[in-house]
Structure 1
Amino acid sequence: MSTVNSTSSTNDLIKALNGTNGSSASKPKSAQDMQDNFLTMLTTQLQNQDPLNPMDNAQMTSQLAQISMLEGIQGLNTTLTSLLASYNTSQALQAAGAIGSNVLVEGSRLALASGQAQGGVILGSAATSVVVTIKDGTGKTVQTQELGKQPAGTVAFQWDGKDANGAQVADGNYTFSVEASASGTKVSATPIQLGTVSAVVRNGTSFVLELTTGETVAFDDVLQFM
């Protein structure tokens, strides 16, 4: 019966499994490749080992652990890919259902239609004074509203489309800014605008909502669907 040296043959086995045993060996590309190579080499070594000098179990155990780890990583990648695909599909369906809906997003655009417009502001803390300044496309101030004392959180306001002199202005897109304070101390004020979703557009692996104003907003940036 022919025998082989246990240590050298085990090292050869490890090298072969890792694709380093000679120029003709190719590196396994998957856990299944490694497993097939391992079983083939293990069978050969068991048939030719020296009974008085058996192969090193520690090295065999190490190789098995490598195979198990690679299988686990590949399985995790497959699971994550599947979850991402499911998430994208769910997001697409949800986004499609948003067409025609009104949404609240961060922004300072004020769309006047039929003499009516709505806007809002998120206050970081309670304020004793909240002032909204509305401007036209040229940057000229059209109207100023004093909202008075307001609590922290979202505060809504309406505009009837009239300027400071009480004259009705034309429908269209306007902008607004907000200044808030509490006993003379500035309060954080983030303007929010009301928009209507007209379309859903794919942007890479995600979707964005296109508003009737022509603006686009990320699905995750919507503060509220109305």
Structure 2
Amino acid sequence: MSISAANTNPALNTLSAFGNSAATPAAGAKGAAKAAAAGADASKLGATQSAQEQSDRFLKLLVAQMSNQDPLNPMDSAQVTSQMAQISTVQGVQTLNKTVSGLDSQFTQLQTMQGAALVGHDVATDGNSLRVDADTHKGEGGFQIDSPATSVNVDILDPAGATVGTVKLGPQEAGSHPFDFDVPATAQGKALTFRVSAMNNDAKLDSKSFAFNSINAVSSTNGKLAVELDDGRRVDYADVRAFY
């Protein structure tokens, strides 16, 4: 996360502001050399990498201009003050960018540490895998509908896509709903999935399935927090529907 500033070149603007200040004749070759040096510094400004470098070059230009100004036609102090304020603004923005970047990194680390407390908890994520308890052989899953349904049926499918059973839930309100299913002996030990069919009288309703899993680990990649689930999936923290 960073804050951008306009590409300000205060020193070059200062040269323009001082354009009406002529060098005195007494300056001679020495004044010309200083002016040439100032011009060389200005030509390098486009490639500067930091506000500090711009500030240093600006001060060199300022000293060169003051050394060679015409006492009868001095430089405009108001414009000098304006240019110095711009330099200060550029430095401030650069410092702020560094501060914000550091805070962002610390926030990610803190989020990861807090996320570690979620290990072992259950979550609901998008998916249609039926989680089955190895001891009770009871499966569970969930779904969401955006409008009331007069009837909802959940078909439980084996790896070949054949239906091994159906959960008839009847009328359901809009929102998220869990369900469970007693897995028959013929389907135990298989990776089961489910398919939701929601109807409002004769109209078919859209539904979204979600699966229940346990969190095995929490990780962070490129500043994004993710949870690693017991089925091997890695899901972004923002995509978790609910924690239990």
Q: Which residue identity lines up with residue 83 of structure 2 in the other structure?
A: Q
Matched, 1:72 2:84: no
TM-score by length of 1: 0.81
Unaligned runs of 5+ in 1: 1-5
Change (3 A) 1:209 1:94: same
Which residue is equivalent to 1:188? Answer: 206
Q: Counterpart of 2:215 in 1: which secondary structure?
A: strand
Could you tell me which runs of 5 or more consecutive residues in structure 2 were left unpaired when the two chains were aligned: 1-17, 23-33
Compute the TM-score of the two structures, normalised by the length of structure 2. Answer: 0.76
Asked if structure 2 preserves the Cα contact closer than 8 Å seen for 1:7 and 1:56, the reply is no
Question: Is the counterpart of residue 7 in structure 1 residue 13 in structure 2?
Answer: no
Q: Which position in structure 2 is the counterpart of 1:151?
A: 173
Report if aligned partners of 2:21, 2:70 keep a CA contact under 8 Å in 1.
no
Report if the CA contact (8 A) 1:19-1:26 is conserved: no
Please give the residue correspondences for 1:127-138 in structure 2 after superposition, counting only pairs within 5 Å. Answer: 127-138=149-160
**CA 1:18/1:97 → structure 2, altered by over 3 Å: closer, same or farther?**
farther
| 3-state DSSP of counterpart to 1:97 | helix
Measure how far apart 1:203 and its partner are.
3.1
Aligned-partner Cα distance in 2 for 1:41–1:175: 74
Distance 1:110 1:18, change over 3 A: farther
- Number of residue pairs aligned between Structure 1 and Structure 2: 213
1:173 counterpart SS class:
coil
Q: What does residue range 159-198 of structure 1 map to in structure 2 within 5 Å?
A: 159-162=181-184, 169-198=187-216
Q: Look up the match of 1:219.
A: 237
Partner-residue secondary structure (3-state), 2:95: helix
Which sits farther off after the overlay, 167-176 or 95-104? 167-176
Instruction: Using the aligned pairs only, state the percent identity.
Output: 36
Q: 1:18 Cα deviation (Å)?
A: 9.4
The structure 2 residue matched to 1:39, chosen from 50, 59, 62, is 59
RMSD: 2.8
More helix by share: 2
- For the residue of structure 2 that corresponds to 1:63, the secondary structure is helix
